[in-house]
A = this chain, B = another copy of it.
Amino acid sequence: MSSEGEFGVVAIVGVGLIGGSLGMALRRRGLSSTVIGVGRNMERLRKAVALGAIDVYSTDLAATAAEADLIVLCTPVSRIVSDLPIVLSAARPDAAITDVGSVKSVIVAASGGDPRFVGSHPMAGSEMTGVEAARLTLFQEATWAVTPHFANSIQTTDRIVNLGRSVGSEVHVMAPHIHDGAVAITSHLPHVMSAAFMRIAARDAKENPSLRVMTAGSFADATRIAASSPDLWRDICLSNRSAVLGAIDSLTKQLELARALIESDDADGLHRFFAESSAAKSEWPGR
């Protein structure tokens, strides 16, 4: 197949929110010759075509991987790990392969040091799922991490860096374990925290129905991502286990500190607890 557009024939494996949005962005910006959506549910794949997320679809992963210039794995982490060997053995020697999973070390490890694979992670998810939620602008101004390993050439890494940039993201290159440590705090912990909080609210609302009306912005913020996909977040937590456990322990310690200050009526200490947090938030960059 001829390779028109910067990325030629692009195979998107898993056409949900992220995969569908990426397909849309590549197609509308003329960055691909063909976007092939790969999945197992024909009805959803047909919907992806109708929504303009992909040009054509296939249910044959190996055959599609064999004809693609760029392969992007957009499924939950456990499936990326199980699909990678199939993709790596089918793909051409000059193909570039990446994924959009929220953890990177286990996925890079699953690639076995294959020089064609460079992990990446566009931080553009949401509590919504499915190709119905896909949108052209999902990646604009989002952070997109690219996590090369020792076997990658600069050229291969650059193809994935360009992929992120070409759809409008701000790309940051970092080692897989640095990525995983950072997102354990900035993304994985908030998801665990939100789920934990929502479970408490739901349980307590049975005893005190006033909870259901006594909510404002802080409740909305604390629970938005509680609606996220259980499959996705189970996979993420188990694939980034030690960093997520460390993040949970840090939170537990901070809560113990707040608890002790409140219990002992330590007004100065509690003021400092909130003031340090408030100062940290105001010094934090942008979003």
> Which A residues are within 8 Å of any B CB, using their own CB?
123-126, 142-143, 145, 170, 172, 174, 178-179, 181-183, 185-187, 189-202, 204, 208, 210-231, 233-234, 237-238, 241, 244-245, 247-252, 254-259, 262-263, 265, 267, 270-278, 280-285, 287
Contact = CB atoms under 8 A, between A and B. Distances in A.
B271 A231 contact: yes
A267 B28 CA distance: 39
Contact of A230 (B237, B271, B285): B271
A194 B194 CA distance: 11
A189 B197 contact: yes
A255 B247 CA distance: 11
A139 to B, nearest CB: 11
B280 A226 contact: yes
B255 A187 contact: no
Contacts of A200: 185, 189, 247, 250-251, 254
B126 A217 contact: yes
A221 to B, nearest CB: 4
A208 B181 contact: yes
A265 B234 CA distance: 10
A255 B262 contact: no
Contacts of A281: 198, 223, 226-227
Given A202-B277, A215-B287, A228-B278, 10 more contacts: A143-B214, A185-B200, A190-B222, A194-B277, A196-B251, A199-B277, A221-B225, A226-B277, A226-B278, A230-B278
